[in-house]
Amino acid sequence: MTERAETTRGTAEPHDGTALAAPTLDAARDPGRGAGTTTAPKAPGLTAAEVAERVARGEVNDVPVRSSRSTADIVRANVFTRFNAIIGVLFAIILVVGPIQDGLFGFVILANTLIGIVQELRAKRTLDNLAVIGEAKPTVRRDGRGVEVSTNEIVLGDLVELCPGDKVVVDGTVTESDGLEVDESLLTGEADPVLKHPGDTVMSGSFVVAGSGAFTATKVGREAYAAQLAEEASRFTLVHSELRSGISQILKYITWMIVPAAIGLVLSQLLVEDNDPDEAVRRMVGGIVPMVPEGLVLLTSIAFAIGVIRLGRKQCLVQELPAIEGLARVDVVCLDKTGTLTEGGMDVTEVRPLGGADPAHVRQVLAALGGSDPHPNASLKAIIDAHPAEDAAGWRCTDTLPFSSARKYSGAAFTEPDGTESTWLLGAPDVLLAPGDRTLAEADRLNEEGLRVLLLARTSRALDDPALAEDPTATVPVALVVLEQRLRPDASDTLRYFAEQNVSAKVISGDNAVSVGAVAAKLGLPGAESTVDARTLPDDREELAAALEDGTVFGRVTPQQKRDMVGALQSRGHTVAMTGDGVNDVLALKDADIGVSMGSGSEATKAVAQIVLLNNSFSTLPSVVAEGRRVIGNIERVANLFLTKTVYSVLLALLVIASQVPYPFLPRHLTLLGGLTIGIPAFFLALAPNKERARPHFVRRVMRYAIPSGVVAATATFTVYLLARHHYTGPGALAAETSAATLTLFLVALWVLAIVARPYTWWRIGLVLTMAGAFVVVLVTPFLQDFFAVRLVGTVMPWTAVGVAAASAVVLELAWRWIGRRFPV
């Protein structure tokens, strides 16, 4: 009766032990049964004592639902890293040879690690709290009453109730079935729903697409099928992330560079250069420490964690962290109409009798249909509100056909008060009527106004007669039910945002194409005037992809077609996001690059989606996109800084080895330079707003800039260092040479920071100037001069350093601009 079946039990089933039950196929043998009346008592389920006994025996569904890594995992991941081990060993060496200021890098790494742990724990707490809010609450029957319990509170033998959209959370045997159809595609790959009868088995991980019923739990906990596959833990594990995999790839390259460079540097400083052993060790450590881009991994984790926290404040549950990144890469978003562009509720605005039908009789039929369904969807709820069950007094339901998205209609058979047997259908006019029927023209005119139109039709066929779906002439139109859909007030602004961000929006709905197009047009979606009936779409994937590229609004889309559409778009290289809240969206959500579910959606959709909008607000999506772009764009910025440092550190080590001279820096110099040109600026840049669209080829793009920048910085620094070695003589010469080299490297690295910080805003300019000012303070403050061992001697070499740095800045500008034009990816 509508394109989805919603899972709001409260309206039709109060769970008080006398709830209106689904009319079973045995109801024909119950002459006293009528629409809107209570049914014969159902199986009462377990008693409280039986539940307690099973809990004591451990027969409980104790599979943990993890929303994030455990605290121990977070601490372990932040502390026990390859690079922390390297830094820790070097820090221990400095503690032995001293002084402590050369070991500052150890305290910096400690602070960074603690910050990373704290931020991830905050993100974990946010995820855990949101996961509890969005957790599935199955209904079990105990002591004759339906009660909602947490998934891990189900015990062996519990009688679990099912209605459309519910996810089967444990394995069991069907005990009650009223047209119960279960989709097992997520387990078996078979897309066709399976009709379940009493005695049939149901497996955890499947979900209900039509009908209702109940099953007895036969396997719980780790014995359940889905638990054996993955213990349901996949919901919060990390899916593929180009950003994370790219950084891992970079770190692998760096490791291979560090090992030979570090070995050569150790041998050079300890064996080749006739230095004081302690001084040689300090300079050896000073050469190795900056090669390690430890802060890059830290800031990536912090950026993701803060993204989770920010979105959590907006009631957005990110079930898989890289989904933040994934949505930022999306260039096509497929939107389901009902529940996404429109709110769930509807209102009946008019009932138009056809062919001289008696309006009073039509009202009774609609009331009887409403009373025959214990789990009404949005359309039927509107009909129930307009035509309560009291209007169908004396009508007895003898058979039912639940609504399904594939059929597009539902039905029921009745014995009317005068003893007449009648069978009625309610659903899509263009499905129930033959092409060219004059009633369709009237329905189309209403659809063009953005109204939703259902056809009430009478048939002489049985409800389970397959000819109903194959022969529209088997139905006689009786009335058109006109419903008005409530548009989401924030949908128009959200669609406008996607258009401004060059993200194509495709509306894919099971409703009539003309009606969907009218709704989309009201919201200002470009291309909404050209609608496509999905029944005319080709089956060939390539042809389907071409049709999707040209169209914007698609109606009468079946669940399988939604899935095919996602695959066709992906075959064209698109990154596809799919939004939805009904069971007919599950397959497409599962296959999309990013699945987004509404918090009020079915348990099945929330289980497969990477992002759940708990506040049901479509307007939250731009925040998710913006957060993803902030993470990706800013990590790329800071990656340029960190990898530039790694490149110039490795190259300087190689030049020192080849020249057989002391390494130009002590660890304290690199701590100072790293903090002012990388560490502090990177922290602010990584958390700043960033609306740049995410682009692919992260590693390639970062290395194209970092390698030439590092080469220029190393070349300029080593040139000044060699000039200083010829200029200065006598005691203190090495300190003077080091100071000149430090000034050069700082100025070149500061210019790299100035380039990375573009486009400029007031705070970014202030950030660069603040870092420059901090270095000047070090140069002019005696205490800091002594602490960091930086004292410029004379005027020749300091000005030479400034000149070489200025020339290097020009080279950097030319190199970055040439790379930007030559390699625009």
In this structure, what CATH number is given to the domain that contains residue 327? 3.40.50.1000
Range of the structural domain that residue 201 is part of: 48-65+135-236
Cα angle value 760/765/767 (rounded, 5°) = 125
Strand partners, 411: 401, 425
Lowest-pLDDT range of 85-94, 660-669, 702-711? 85-94
Residue of 626 and 802 predicted with greater confidence = 802
Q: Phi first, then psi: what are they for 250, rounded to 5°?
A: -60, -45
Give the torsion through C-alpha atoms of 140, 143, 145, 150, to 10 deg. Answer: -30
CB 809 within 8 A of CB 751: yes
State the pLDDT at residue 4: 35
Pick the range with the lowest mean pLDDT from 114-118, 165-169, 236-240, 454-458.
236-240
61 closest CA partner among 136, 143, 164, 145: 136
Q: Which of 236, 257, 281 is the last residue of a domain?
A: 236
Flag whether pLDDT at 88 surpasses 50: yes
| More confident position, 103 or 553 | 553
Catalytic residue at 336? yes
Q: Which tokens sit at 763?
A: 């705070």
Lookup: tokens for 459? 């048939």
Better pLDDT: 22 or 707: 707
pLDDT band per the 50, 70, 90 thresholds, residue 95:
confident
- Reply yes or no on whether the pLDDT at 27 is more than 70: no
pLDDT at position 420 is: 87
Which sign, positive or negative, has the C-alpha torsion 124, 127, 131, 133? positive
Q: What is the pLDDT of residues 745-798, one digit of tens each?
A: 999 999 999 999 988 899 999 999 999 999 999 999 999 998 888 988 889 999
Q: Confidence class of residue 657 from pLDDT cuts 50, 70 and 90?
A: confident
Beta bridge mates, 505: 333
Residue 380 has pLDDT above 90, yes or no: no
Residue 473 covered by a domain: yes
87: confidence class by pLDDT, cuts 50, 70, 90:
confident
Q: Name which of 699, 635, 646, 644 is nearest 83 in CA terms.
A: 646
Whether 508 and 335 have beta carbons less than 8 Å apart is answered as: yes
Q: 26 pLDDT band (50/70/90 cuts)?
A: very low
State residue 732's pLDDT score.
Answer: 80
What interhelical angle do 621-659 and 277-288 show, nearest 10? 150
Residue 31 pLDDT level (bands cut at 50, 70, 90): very low
Residue 344 pLDDT greater than 90, yes or no: no
Phi and psi torsions of 346, nearest 5°: -140, 170
CB of 203 closer than 8 Å to CB of 186: no
Judged by average pLDDT, the poorest of 18-22, 135-139, 784-788 is 18-22
Check whether 40 has a pLDDT greater than 60: no
pLDDT band at 236 (very low <50, low <70, confident <90, very high): very low
Average pLDDT of span 427-448:
86
- CATH number, domain with residue 29: 3.40.1110.10
- Which residue type sits at 572? R
Q: Please say whether the beta carbons of 453 and 480 come within 8 A.
A: yes
What's the total number of domains in the chain?
Answer: 4
Most confident of 23-37, 89-103, 149-163: 149-163
For residue 566, the model assigns a pLDDT of 92
CA distance 821 to 709: 16
What pLDDT score does 10 carry? 34
Token digits for 531? 């609608």
Q: How far is CA 84 from CA 113, 557, 649, in A?
A: 9, 53, 18
- List strand residue ranges (DSSP E) for 644-784, in order: none
Domain boundary among 208, 236, 264: 236
Q: Looking at this protein, which amino acid is placed at residue 701?
A: R
Q: Is the pLDDT of residue 403 over 70?
A: yes
Task: Based on the fold, state whether residues 368 and 265 are members of the same structural domain.
Answer: no
Q: Residue 237: pLDDT above 70?
A: no
Residues of the chain with pLDDT > 90, as a percent, come to 18
Q: Can you give the pLDDT at residue 228?
A: 57
Indicate whether 599 and 511 sit together in one domain.
Answer: yes
pLDDT-based confidence at residue 231 (cuts at 50, 70, 90): very low
pLDDT tens sequence across 494-543: 888 888 888 888 998 888 888 888 888 888 888 888 888 888 898 888 99
Q: How far apart are CA 320 and CA 127, in angstroms?
A: 10
Q: What is the pLDDT of residue 336?
A: 80
Catalytic residue among 166, 183, 331, 336: 336
Cβ within 8 Å of residue 295, ≥6 positions away = 112, 638, 642, 678, 679, 682
Q: Of 616, 650, 679, which residue sits at a domain end?
A: 616
Return the residue matching tokens 């974990």: 124
204 with 55, same domain: the answer is yes
Mean of the pLDDT values across residues 443-451?
Answer: 84
Three-state secondary-structure class, residue 214: strand
Q: Across the strands, what pairs with 247?
A: none
Mean of pLDDT values over 145-164: 88
Question: Alpha carbon of 704 to those of 444, 647, 722, 808: distances in Å?
Answer: 57, 12, 28, 17
Which tens digits make up the pLDDT trace of 630-644?
888 888 888 889 889
pLDDT of residue 722: 93
Model confidence at 67: pLDDT above 70: no
Task: Provide mean pLDDT across the span 315-329.
Answer: 77
Indicate whether 353 and 472 sit together in one domain: yes
Q: Is the pLDDT of residue 315 over 50?
A: yes
Asked if residue 712 and residue 577 are part of one domain, the reply reads no
Are 231 and 354 contained in the same domain?
no
- 463 plus 378 within the same structural domain: yes
The pLDDT, as a whole number, for residue 65 is 52
Residue 89 lies in a domain: no
Q: Is residue 580 part of a domain?
A: yes
Give buried/exposed letters for 253-268 (b at 16+ CB in 10 A, else e): ebeebbeebbebbbeb
Q: Is 148 in a helix, a strand, or coil? A: strand
Interval 255-314: pLDDT, tens: 787 778 778 877 777 775 555 677 777 777 777 878 877 777 777 777 777 887 888 888
444 & 544 share domain: no
* pLDDT-derived band at 803, boundaries 50, 70, 90: very high
Whether residue 111 is contained in a domain is answered as no
732 burial class (0-12, 13-18, 19+ CB within 10 angstroms)? exposed
Q: Which range is most confident: 40-49, 93-102, 647-656?
A: 647-656
CATH number at residue 144: 2.70.150.10
CA-based max dimension of the chain = 120
Contacts of 78 by beta carbon, 8 Å cutoff, 6+ apart: 113, 116, 117, 120, 298, 301
* pTM, full prediction: 0.68
In a domain, 755, yes or no: yes
Looking at residue 778, its pLDDT comes to: 94
Confidence of residue 25 (pLDDT cuts 50, 70, 90): very low
Cα–Cα dist 213/215, whole Å: 7
211-243 as b/e, with b when 16 or more CB fall inside 10 Å?
bbbbbbbebbbebbbbbeeeebeebbeebebbb
- Is residue 20 situated within a structural domain? no
3 state SS of 823: coil
Q: pLDDT category, 813, cuts 50, 70, 90?
A: very high
pLDDT at 583 over 80: no
Q: Do residues 425 and 435 share a domain?
A: yes
- Domain with 716 in it: what CATH number? 1.20.1110.10
pLDDT recorded at residue 288 = 80
> What is the DSSP secondary structure assignment for residue 235, as one 8-state letter?
G
Rounded to 5 degrees, what angle do the CA atoms 207, 208, 210 make?
A: 155
Distance CA 378, CA 489 (A): 18
- Going by pLDDT thresholds of 50, 70 and 90, the confidence category of residue 560 is confident
Predicted local confidence at residue 569, as pLDDT: 93
Residue 524, pLDDT score: 86
pLDDT > 80? residue 103: no
pLDDT in tens, 667-712: 888 889 988 999 889 888 887 877 776 677 778 888 888 999 999 9
Calculate what percentage of the chain has a pLDDT beyond 70. Answer: 88
Question: Does the pLDDT value for residue 7 go beyond 80?
Answer: no
Asked if 612 and 319 touch (Cβ cutoff 8 Å), the reply is yes
Are residue 571 and residue 560 in the same domain, yes or no? yes
Burial of 311 (0-12, 13-18, 19+ CB in 10 A): buried
Which pLDDT belongs to residue 454? 92
Which pLDDT belongs to residue 235?
Answer: 39
Q: pLDDT value at position 709?
A: 94
How, if at all, do strands 553-555 and 396-401 pair?
unpaired
CA Rg, the chain, in Å? 34
Respond yes or no on whether the N-terminal peptide bond of residue 466 is cis (omega within 30° of 0): no
Q: How many CB atoms lie within 10 A of CB 591?
A: 18
Average pLDDT over residues 383-396: 86
Indicate the SS3 state at residue 520. helix
Residue 489 buriedness (CB in 10 A; 0-12 / 13-18 / 19+) = exposed
Mean pLDDT of the chain: 81
Q: How confident is the model at residue 475 (pLDDT cuts 50, 70, 90)?
A: confident
Preceding omega of 538 cis (within 30 degrees of 0): no
**Domain contains 404:** yes
Question: Does 604 lie in the same domain as 668?
Answer: no
Residue 71 lies in a domain: no
Question: Both 667 and 639 in a single domain?
Answer: yes
